[in-house]
Amino acid sequence: MSRRLKVSSAQLGPINLADSRASVVKRMIEMLKEADSRGSKFVVFPELALTTFFPRYWYDDPNEVEKYFENQMPSPETQPLFELARSKGIGFYLGYAERSEEGGKAHHFNTSILVGPDGRLVGKYRKVHLPGHDDHRPNVPYQHLEKKYFEVGNLGFNVWKMFKDDVRIGQCICNDRRWPETFRVMGLKGAEMVVLGYNTPSDNVYAPHEPPYLRVFHHMLSLQAAAYQNGIWVIATAKAGKEDGFWLHGGSAIVAPTGEVVAKGTTEQDEVISYDCDLALGEYIRNTTFNFAKHRRPEHYKLISERTGVEIDLAN
């Protein structure tokens, strides 16, 4: 019997500062029901799905930002989502801001989890590639303070087996998708599918000349290249639209291991897209062009894990 997994990407439209977590969870529940009515067994929600994209705001008082973080998951507000998913036998990916106590100290991460169809936590990921800055820049149209509010993730890139067919699923978050290293590590661990959520501003605050269409193009380019170069399914889910006037692009997508887009969101609102993924589709890519065991030459890649920034290093 062929191994297939019907997945849905559940894009969220804007979440404004005034919106409660309970109201957001209600929207997610509606989308989970829609995914269920289509026969999906796996639903991918966005990055930092429960609140507005708060890293755009500077807070002088560090205690003020704590309100965006979750101390436990499921939290009282997300419990109904976990219960509904379990009752329907649906697994899901959820991004949220995590506050954890470790070694007697509070730690803050941009986190995502995979929850199995039985409601149990399968795996946790903490975002590695944190974009933006940690200093106060009051003169830009909006800030991007992930480097201030989160620590670099300490769990690495992992792959878990899920569902009755032991589908090998990896996860990452937003900016991670722009880095080929993210996917290659999971590809080397045998991933068949990588899922991720994102909040991507439509304007590039560091390069204001860059038009919004290029932002979406680079997003799609990253997903499609990662899917093809590792022979994996990639499911990416946006939080989109104008949050209190700050524009995040949509473009939630399901990309086949061939690099082809098989489903794509068309709105910047709550929207479910679905696809029945044939897990054998990537095998020919992983066995031929990207047969890692046969063709990779790690002795020539050392610099990738040793050097962070560019050092002009010419051969002549």
Tokens of 60: 């002088």
Q: Say which amino acid occupies 243.
A: E
Between 199 and 274, whose beta carbon lies closer to ligand CDT?
199
Report CA 158 to chain centroid distance, whole Å: 13
Q: How many alpha carbons lie under 13 Å from residue 46 in its C-beta half-sphere?
A: 33
Q: Which of 41, 124, 146, 174 is catalytic?
A: 174
- Give the nearest distance from C-beta 228 to ligand CDT in angstroms: 20
Q: Calculate the alpha carbon distances from 288 to 70, 94, 180, 231, 252 in Å.
A: 44, 34, 19, 10, 29
- DSSP code, position 68: G
- Torsion angle of the four alpha carbons 174, 143, 212, 129, in this order, in degrees rounded to the nearest 10: -20
Our answer to whether residue 127 is catalytic in this structure is: yes
Of 91 and 265, CB closest to ligand CDT:
265
- Residue closer to ligand CDT (CB basis): 29 or 261: 261
For residues 2 and 308, which CB has a smaller minimum distance to ligand CDT in the complex? Answer: 308
3-state secondary structure at position 170? strand
The CB-of-201 to ligand CDT minimum distance in angstroms stands at 6
First and final C-alpha spacing in the chain: 56
Q: CB of 184: closest distance to ligand CDT in angstroms?
A: 18
**Smallest gap, in angstroms, from Cβ of residue 232 to ligand CDT?**
20
- Count the residues in the chain: 316
* 105 part of the active site: no
Q: Which of 41, 124, 127, 148 is catalytic?
A: 127
Residue 69 · residue 86 · CB < 8 Å: no
Residues found near ligand CDT in the complex (CB under 6 A): 47, 131-132, 144, 174-175, 178, 198-201
* Distance of closest approach, residue 118 Cβ to ligand CDT, in angstroms: 30
Least CB distance from residue 301 to ligand CDT, whole Å? 24
Active site residue 172: no
Longest alpha-carbon distance in the chain: 65
Torsion angle defined by CA atoms of residues 239, 241, 246 and 251, in that order, rounded to the nearest 10 degrees: 60
285 phi, psi to nearest 5 deg: -70, -40
Nearer of residues 54 and 198 to ligand CDT, judged by Cβ:
198
Residue with tokens 């290293």: 181
Q: 271: burial class by Cβ within 10 Å (0-12, 13-18, 19+)?
A: buried
* CB closer to ligand CDT, 200 vs 224: 200
Residues forming the active site: 47, 127, 174
